[in-house]
Chain A
Amino acid sequence: MENKLRLQIVSPYGLIFEDDVDEFAAAGSEGDFGVLPGHAPFLTGLKIGMLSYKKGNEAGYIFINRGFAEIGPDKVVVLADSAEKAEDIDTERAKAAMKRAEERLKKAEDIDFARAEAALERATIRTQIAEKRTMR
């Protein structure tokens, strides 16, 4: 198909990404999904995860920390609680956060379990996305 998707990613801290892409995939709250131009109207929650898009031969990865996506036939708006492009991820910080979260989970006393787990998940996925960047 010739049309493109206008992909816009915004978070409370600013506009993260805006461009025309050919396709993208993201982690929905009920499972991963992919979108091509001409998709039916679709509203979904997003969990902590990676959003990947393709534009021509280029591919890009963006870290999404929870949020929503509204998908229309030619326009997609992602409202993330926070988001980072792969090249903006601070690998050192993510690794440190991963370690901290793992240790906290191991001790497993007097902690907010859900919070620690979410922190671990965020850190893990951030690191994964950062690795994709170095592979390119």
Chain B
Amino acid sequence: MPTLRDLRKKIKSIQSTKKITKAMKMVAAAKLRRVQDRMLNFRPYAISMSSVLSDLAAVAERQLHPLLAVRGRKTVEVLVITSDKGLCGAFNTNILRAAANYIESLKKEGFEISLSVVGRKARDYFRRRNLPARKIWIGLSGRIAYTNAQEIASELITNYVSETVDEVVLVYNEFKSLALQKISIVRLLPLGKLESEKGQSEVGPITADFLYEPVVEALFEMLLPKHIEIQVYRALLESSAAEEAARMTAMENAAKNCEDLIQRVTLLANKVRQASITKDLMDIVGGVEALKVK
């Protein structure tokens, strides 16, 4: 039987845990609002950009720009985006499991994997699984700037153009709603649809009746790297919004659990207190009875 003192101590400790989780929930909510605004404003731009690009990549000749080039898939670069900090429920676990499964299936098909990660959690996970990342970015989550995306994008582009990797895939959490994150596995490079290529090589490249100004090479030179940056930036924003949302829900649940626990322990403490009162009373009554007999 725990003593009353221990139980009271326990209640205090759960109460302070509850305070912390509640505060963390509020912080996550505030952060989420900020990222969400940025993301929702950015979304139409990113979507338009990728629709322009896929229109273009579908009709443009592949040799016009190195980023449009399609080679035989040999080495696949997988970029996994997670958070730096934990305490956000299954956010990281889910994405890492999905990434690991995906990598596993690629390996089975005989592809070489080149891994790069964003976030401390992904780094630690893959290090433990003996699959160290080639390139690691940490300290981004929470304050994502466009320059971060530019840095990552230029790294990816360099590797692709130098033919170190033949395909680039992004794995990240997409922000669907407060309660829902969707795991997204998206092919970033080569640009354009893979299905359309088969048809194209038979018919021959269709340089659509698109007019270009300035000349198409110069235009692609500007447009394509920018597109990659934008897609990376969007993935970073989505992931960070999803992270804050996940943390918010996790902390809310934690606070609720604390409340349940407090209730249960308080009940127990009351019982223990009552029991000791009863025992004392019985001692007194027993004592009085004993005196009477004499």
A68 touches B45 (CB 8 A): no
A12 touches B214 (CB 8 A): no
Nearest CB on A from B271, distance (A): 59
A40 touches B211 (CB 8 A): yes
A68-B223 contact given A28-B213, A30-B214, A45-B214, CB 8 Å threshold: yes
A45-B48 contact given A12-B41, A68-B223, A70-B55, CB 8 Å threshold: no
Interface residues of A in 59-77 (CB under 8 A from B): 68, 70, 77
A120 at the interface (CB under 8 A from B): no
Tell me the count of chain B residues lying within 8 A, CB to CB, of chain A: 23
A68 contacts across to B, CB distance below 8 A? 52, 219, 222-223
A43 touches B44 (CB 8 A): no
| A70 to B146 CA separation, bound complex (whole angstroms) | 24
B209 contacts across to A, CB distance below 8 A? 40-41
B41 touches A43 (CB 8 A): no
A29 touches B214 (CB 8 A): yes
Nearest CB on A from B241, distance (A): 16
Interface residues of A in 1-52 (CB under 8 A from B): 8, 10-15, 28-30, 33, 40-45
| A77 to B75 CA separation, bound complex (whole angstroms) | 35
Nearest CB on A from B157, distance (A): 18
- Report the contact-size class of chain A (Cβ under 8 Å from the partner): 20 to 34
Nearest CB on B from A5, distance (A): 15
Q: Mark B200-212, 1 if CB is under 8 A from A, else 0.
A: 0000000011111
B49 at the interface (CB under 8 A from A): yes
**Neighbour of B44 across the interface among A15, A41, A42, A45, CB < 8 A:** A15
Look across to chain B and name the residue whose beta carbon is closest to the beta carbon of A28: B213
A43-B213 contact given A12-B41, A12-B42, A68-B223, CB 8 Å threshold: yes
A45-B208 contact given A29-B213, A30-B213, A30-B214, CB 8 Å threshold: no
Nearest CB on B from A17, distance (A): 11
Nearest CB on B from A8, distance (A): 7
Give chain A's interface secondary structure class: strand
B56 at the interface (CB under 8 A from A): yes
A43 touches B48 (CB 8 A): no
| A33 to B208 CA separation, bound complex (whole angstroms) | 21
A129 at the interface (CB under 8 A from B): no
B44 contacts across to A, CB distance below 8 A? 10, 14-15
| A42 to B211 CA separation, bound complex (whole angstroms) | 4
A79 at the interface (CB under 8 A from B): yes
B45 touches A43 (CB 8 A): no
A40 contacts across to B, CB distance below 8 A? 209, 211
Nearest CB on B from A94, distance (A): 22
| A68 to B230 CA separation, bound complex (whole angstroms) | 14
Nearest CB on B from A67, distance (A): 10
B56 contacts across to A, CB distance below 8 A? 43, 70
B208 contacts across to A, CB distance below 8 A? 41
A42 touches B49 (CB 8 A): no
B214 contacts across to A, CB distance below 8 A? 29-30, 45
B40 contacts across to A, CB distance below 8 A? 14
| A14 to B47 CA separation, bound complex (whole angstroms) | 11
Look across to chain B and name the residue whose beta carbon is closest to the beta carbon of A41: B210
| A69 to B47 CA separation, bound complex (whole angstroms) | 14
| A40 to B208 CA separation, bound complex (whole angstroms) | 11
Nearest CB on A from B174, distance (A): 18
Residue positions of A touching B, CB distance < 8 A: 8, 10-15, 28-30, 33, 40-45, 68, 70, 77, 79
Q: Which 5 A-B pairs have the closest CB atoms?
A: A14-B41, A44-B213, A10-B45, A42-B211, A70-B52
Residue positions of B touching A, CB distance < 8 A: 40-42, 44-45, 48-49, 51-52, 55-56, 146, 208-214, 219, 222-223, 230
6 contacts between A and B (CB under 8 A): A12-B42, A14-B45, A42-B212, A43-B52, A43-B211, A70-B55
